[in-house]
Chains A and B, each alone.
Chain A
Amino acid sequence: MKELICICCPRGCHLQVDETQDYAVTGNACPRGAEYGRAECTAPTRVVTSTVAVRGAAYPRCPVKTAAPIPKGKIFEVMATLDGLTLRAPVTLGQVVVKNAAGTGVDVVATRTLE
């Protein structure tokens, strides 16, 4: 039995995950908790957020995120792909900044429109 705190929302449910019962989750208040508990014990993932350089905008950085959660072990590799990258304004919200970041199959997208 593994004890976890769910990070899906600010409620922070205290989950118990039973590895012997096909990762059955108890203590969750919603289905996201069951999914998170299982994933966290088998293949943990995170959404990575950061910034990349941008030229021609009011600010020198544009915020970005992975469009979906990526394997936890790939976080620093994804961060490395953002290094040395420079966008040109205008940037629109949702614009793909890096395709298939670090081979995760997940794109990195802009999270702010910068004119």
Chain B
Amino acid sequence: MTDYQLIVVGGGPAGLAAAIAAWEEGLTKILVVERDRDLGGILNQCIHNGFGLHHFGEELTGPEYAGRFVQKLAETGVSVLTDAMVLEVTPEKQVRLVSREMGYQELTAQAVVLAMGCRERTRGAIGTPGTRPAGVFTAGAAQRYVNIEGQMPGKRVVILGSGDIGLIMARRMTLEGAKVLACVELMPYSGGLTRNIVQCLQDYDIPLYLSHTITEIRGKNRLSGVTVAQVGPDRAPIPGTEQDFACDTLLLSVGLVPENELTRAAGIPIDPHTNGAVVYENRETECPGIFACGNVLQVHDLVDYVTAESELAGRAAAAYLAGGCPADDEPYIAVDAGAAIGYTVPQRIRPGKIDKSAELFFRVRAPMKKSRILVTSGGVQLAAYPRERLAPGEMERIQLPKSLLQKAMGSITVSAEEVAE
């Protein structure tokens, strides 16, 4: 006998949706473990609107979106443990955790859903030269200070990186009275959603410097300024293009990394392109009965897709139990990322496990104009999907019908190519 049928690690949007879906599929002994004080994860600090258009058909703020799932969970019999940190998950599905209230505990489950989310890349990850003054924050940390704790990180702000959190914080700091001097992006295009460029930067006349980076951080105790320089096609700074900005705050929005310490420690294989687990069509990892979903699996642009993916994982966990916890020996088709494609999720599809079709998520490596997405196997084209444009900042998805997968030989390759207008 195990303590729970299912333990969900993480109580953000992914964990909430997975737990609710598993409950709705008939599991009755489910535990959600959350390290923060409240459920909802990072949505609680994302006070801006724009969430839920796909899932709810209306535009909600982050706390509202989270609130709906927290409410729904409360109407189930799912157990919740907050202020609790999972230390280890074993392949045998033993979950070791520690909390102030209960101390150290070892719990067992028949299935586990990993929903730990992701973490921001920091200054160390991008190696910006200069001194180490106060005033350099990741954009998400600043978001927490402003929106949850009511503290302003500074008054004159430069933002490095044009990911969505950086763009959102450019507007937020402006509304709270700070002067945002510039948003600086290394690449020749923004990594954020186009709508955020419009409503966060253009609305407030904040300049976006594409193909630029910060080459020096200055300041003794507090940040006093940064040097911004243009970069060439090789992304190296071009001498002579430097300009100085006097600022007391630098926000970094330079990417997110799935938080997979538990996954790695469990010996679950990781895809070096997503930094998340290698998964099958139902989000099962290579360790039978352990599933992964949401930003711990692949960094999503939209929480709506996190919800959809996590419902899939939750339902799959319930099906795994209903099927008597089978060992994994079904044949699968490997999905390879071909020309112009950065990664795909899932990486493996078992045709025997899908009803009508499998949904495939991926990102292109660089922006593309009118294009088509090709699915091939053994050099034979199985399907083509037209797109008006493609961008790395916007995750793409295609449906692979079961009939198509049955034609595949061992593996399929997804690629993209531009077509004449």
A89 within 8 A of B: no
A79 within 8 A of B: yes
Complex CA gap A101/B394 in Å reads 35
Please judge, given known A-B contacts A63-B47, A65-B49, A72-B203, whether A112 and B64 are in contact too, CB under 8 Å: yes
Which residues of the partner chain A approach B67 to less than 8 Å between Cβ atoms? 93, 111-113
Contact B61 A111 (CB under 8 A): yes
A6 within 8 A of B: yes
Contact A7 B49 (CB under 8 A): no
Closest B residue to A59 using CB positions: B148
Chain B contributes a number of interface residues (CB within 8 A of A) equal to: 31
CB proximity to A under 8 Å, residues B116-155: 146-150
A41 within 8 A of B: no
Which residues of the partner chain B approach A47 to less than 8 Å between Cβ atoms? 49, 59
Which residues of the partner chain B approach A59 to less than 8 Å between Cβ atoms? 148-150
Could you give, for residues 32-50 of chain A, a 1 whenever the CB lies within 8 Å of some chain B CB and a 0 otherwise? 0000000000000011111
Shortest CB distance A44–B (Å): 9
CB proximity to B under 8 Å, residues A1-36: 4-10, 12
Complex CA gap A63/B146 in Å reads 11
Interchain CB contact (< 8 A) of A111 among B64, B148, B150:
B64
Give 15 A-B contacts (CB < 8 Å), ordered by A residue: A5-B194, A5-B197, A10-B193, A10-B195, A10-B302, A46-B199, A50-B47, A51-B150, A53-B150, A59-B148, A60-B150, A61-B148, A61-B150, A63-B63, A75-B175
- Give chain B's interface residues, CB within 8 Å of chain A: 37-38, 44, 47-50, 53, 59, 61-64, 67, 146-150, 175-176, 193-195, 197-199, 203, 301-302, 394
Which 3 pairs, one residue from A and one from B, show the smallest C-beta to C-beta distance? A12-B194, A112-B63, A63-B47
